[in-house]
Amino acid sequence: MKDRAERKAKFYLALIFSSLFLLVASFLWSLPSDSIWARVEIISLEKTPANLAILASFSEPPDFLLETSDRIYLVARPQELTSFQSAGLFYRLETSLFPPARPRLSELFLASGGNGAYHSYQELTHEMKSLAEKFPFICRLEEIGRSLEGRSILALKISDRVELDEAEPAFLFLGCHHAREWISVEVPFYLGRYLVENYNQPLIHQLVNEAQIWIVPLVNPDGLEYSIKFYRYWRKNRRLNSDGSFGVDLNRNYGFKWGVDNRGSSPNPSSETYRGPAPFSEPETRAVRDLFLKYPFQALISYHSYSQIILFPWGYTTAPPDKYQLLFTLAGKMSELMLSVNGRRYAYGQASTMLYLTNGDTTDWAYGLAGIPAFTIELPPVDILQGGFFNAESDIQTVFEENLKAALDLIQWGISNYHSSAPLTRNNKESIISLISRNKKR
């Protein structure tokens, strides 16, 4: 009798657990891959009766994340942000204040392919290796350094007679200084893949033969992995700072006018724009520096997102650079070409005035040191309302295609204006030498 009752109880328990399991599994299964959670922002509004009334008037009034005495915090999707704006609600973006809000959610989505069509470190490494294996005569894979956590910082060199360092102009395309800017990995990587896969096209053939094209799609592998696995909004590298906080902003760690003021970068380790304890204190920026010093680079593009803008030095000052006219013309030409592909207009101009002041960024350093055109391209979208750091997977190809035209044009310009004798001036050479010895001492 007792046995039967026990068996019955066990049967019901099993039934309850398996139904629960099915319920949870079907919930997870039903979550769209481009999940609402992957696109949300946290915002805050002033807690006024007027604002509360507007929120209450929405057909689906939003739930509050939290309330303080004077503000309310909400989770909102891009289309909700648009409707808040049109309703006249003035909000502040607060996502970065809530690091712990996402980890478990992100982990959950990783299980079902959290980075979708975007490359993780492993996926990218695999594809870069395969490309170099498939096109050994024009494509070489090189480890230019290691990240703080020991990941390889990989470069593809694309050129004819790729094993030789020929007296040809070199070009550098960089991606992902900032972890959360996933699209900035894709554009340079797609560019590299396009060049090798289309070598039989006359234009590509000519460019690859006459130039040495270096592609480093993932400058900050530790940050990217952290952004995929734990916190989608992570920006910096994963340095454990002296105060227990994490991360140095790699785009504030280069050694030209490093830390010249506290507006363009921060001395505070927990800041999103922390410049690190010294110029080139980070292995990731040192890897880029060392590559740059080895070859006669004629132009550089560092991809970032978002804003849809082409920026050129200076970032550290609003004073114009000597070569303002050249930089302005080249940026204008790139913008025109980009527009012709998908109708997307990229604004362009001097970084400090178009966006904001920065010091220690890649392009100021390259221009300051070698006097070459160096651009930061902030990829689409234009603003947070169009998705911010979250580009649809289907946008990768279109964003790449418009950037391809611009990159090819810059390479063409560099080839036509290359004078093999002295890509660097004497002064620049001296500053490079002093830079190297200063870093050796550290």
Catalytic annotation, residues: 378
Q: How many residues bind Zn ion (CB under 5 A)?
A: 3
User: Smaller CB distance to ligand 0X9: residue 210 or 222?
Assistant: 222
Q: Quick check: 351 binds ligand 0X9 (CB under 6 A)?
A: yes
User: Smaller CB distance to ligand 0X9: residue 52 or 355?
Assistant: 355
Q: Quick check: 355 binds ligand 0X9 (CB under 6 A)?
A: yes
Half-sphere exposure of 306 (CA within 13 A, CB side): 19
Shortest distance, position 177 Cβ to Zn ion, whole Å: 6
Shortest distance, position 416 Cβ to ligand 0X9, whole Å: 27
β-pair type (139-146, 152-158)? antiparallel
User: Residue 66's closest CA among 31, 101, 35, 37?
Assistant: 101
Q: Quick check: 227 binds ligand 0X9 (CB under 6 A)?
A: no
User: Residue 61's closest CA among 71, 52, 50, 70?
Assistant: 52
User: Smaller CB distance to ligand 0X9: residue 212 or 352?
Assistant: 352
Torsion region of 395: left, alpha or beta (phi above 0 gives left; psi -120 to 50 gives alpha): alpha
Q: Quick check: 186 binds ligand 0X9 (CB under 6 A)?
A: no
Secondary structure in 3-state letters for the chain:
CHHHHHHHHHHHHHHHHHHHHHHHHHHHHHCCCCCHHHHCEEEEEECCHHHHHHHHHCCCCCCEEEECCCEEEEEECHHHHHHHHHCCCCEEECHHHCHHHCHHHHHHHHHCCCCCCCCCHHHHHHHHHHHHHHCCCCEEEEEEEECCCCCEEEEEEECCCCCCCCCCCEEEEEECCCCCCCHHHHHHHHHHHHHHHCCCCHHHHHHHHHCEEEEECCCCHHHHHHHHHCCCCCCCCCCECCCCCECCCHHHCCCCCCCCCCCCCECCCCCCCECCCCCCCCHHHHHHHHHHHHCCEEEEEEEEECCCEEEECCCCCCCCCCCHHHHHHHHHHHHHHHHHHHCCCCEEEEHHHHCCCCCCCHHHHHHHHHCCCEEEEEECCCCHHHCCCCCCCCHHHHHHHHHHHHHHHHHHHHHHCCCCCCCCCHHHHHHHHHHHHHHHHC
359 binds, options ligand 0X9, Zn ion, none, Cβ within 5 to 8 A by partner type: none
Site for ligand 0X9 in 243-262 (CB under 6 A): 251
Contact stretch for Zn ion (CB under 5 A) within 50-58, 221-229, 296-304, 357-365: 296-304
Shortest distance, position 220 Cβ to ligand 0X9, whole Å: 12
Out of 358, 374, 388, 407, name the contact with ligand 0X9 by CB under 6 A: 358
Out of 147, 285, 352, 391, name the contact with ligand 0X9 by CB under 6 A: 352
311 binds, options ligand 0X9, Zn ion, none, Cβ within 5 to 8 A by partner type: ligand 0X9
User: Smaller CB distance to ligand 0X9: residue 152 or 220?
Assistant: 220
CA–CA distance, 41 with 386 (Å, rounded to integer): 12
User: Smaller CB distance to ligand 0X9: residue 113 or 267?
Assistant: 267
- Facing residues of 284 across strands? none
User: Smaller CB distance to Zn ion: residue 120 or 362?
Assistant: 362
Out of 356, 420, 425, 433, name the contact with ligand 0X9 by CB under 6 A: 356
Q: Quick check: 311 binds ligand 0X9 (CB under 6 A)?
A: yes
Q: Quick check: 304 binds Zn ion (CB under 5 A)?
A: yes
Q: Quick check: 95 binds ligand 0X9 (CB under 6 A)?
A: no
Residue entry with tokens 């696109």: 39
Contact stretch for ligand 0X9 (CB under 6 A) within 64-72, 119-127, 292-300, 357-365: 357-365
Out of 114, 221, 276, 315, name the contact with ligand 0X9 by CB under 6 A: 315
Strands across the sheet containing 152-158: 139-146, 152-158, 212-216, 170-175, 297-305, 374-379, 309-312, 347-350
User: Smaller CB distance to ligand 0X9: residue 214 or 274?
Assistant: 274
Q: Quick check: 236 binds Zn ion (CB under 5 A)?
A: no
Site for ligand 0X9 in 22-81 (CB under 6 A): none
Contact stretch for ligand 0X9 (CB under 6 A) within 59-67, 279-287, 350-358, 402-410: 350-358
- Contacts with ligand 0X9, 255-294, as mask; x by CB under 6 A: ----------------------------------------
Site for Zn ion in 168-197 (CB under 5 A): 178, 181
Q: Quick check: 159 binds ligand 0X9 (CB under 6 A)?
A: no
Q: How many residues bind ligand 0X9 (CB under 6 A)?
A: 15
Applying CB under 6 A, which residues contact ligand 0X9?
A: 178, 181, 251, 304, 311, 315, 351-352, 355-358, 361, 376, 378
Applying CB under 5 A, which residues contact Zn ion?
A: 178, 181, 304
